[in-house]
Amino acid sequence: MTTQQLTRNQGLVFDVLSHSDGPLSAYSILDKLRDSGFRAPLQVYRALDKLLEFGLVHRLESINAFVACAHPEEDCHAHGLTAFTICETCGKVTEFHDHVIEDRLKGFARDRNFKTGKTTIEIRGTCAGCA
């Protein structure tokens, strides 16, 4: 998935997220896109749904916000599990992938015949710069 084949709305939303310092809520994205013609939350949510599907954007469940993927040129879904640190002071988000954790969770699920869908791993705290 390259950012070339995005629709206008998807492109605008991805652009806003890519150029943002930190995660943004759907409504702050909407505000930033008023001048580009956005008028309703659904325009943002629809674009976000697609971007999430493409693996270009991640949703941070614990703060109801969205970030651009750290490596949008590759397919993030292919990296397996994605985890995040979220600085509660400056908002900085760091994305990482850990195969040990992934295997461990997979094992846990398999042992219980639990069919894994989406997995969320988010560490909230204070980043090095803000400590």
Partner DNA sequence: GCAATTGATGTAATAACATTACATTCATAT
Partner DNA sequence: ATATGAATGTAATGTTATTACATCAATTGC
The yes or no reply on residue 7 touching DNA (CB under 7 A) is yes
- Report the distance separating Cα 23 and Cα 57, nearest Å: 10
Among 17, 32, 38, 86, binds DNA (CB under 7 A): 38
The partner in contact with residue 121, picked from a second copy, DNA, none with C-beta cut-offs of 5 to 8 angstroms by kind, is a second copy
26 binds, among DNA, a second copy, none (CB under 5 to 8 A by kind): DNA
- The stretch near DNA (CB under 7 A) out of 4-12, 76-84, 102-110, 114-122 is 4-12
What would the DSSP string read from start to end of 7-76?
Answer: -HHHHHHHHHHHT-SS-B-HHHHHHHTGGGT--SHHHHHHHHHHHHHHTSEEEEGGGTEEEE-S-TTS-G
Which parts of this chain interact with DNA (CB under 7 A)?
7-10, 25-28, 37-43, 45-47, 50, 64-65
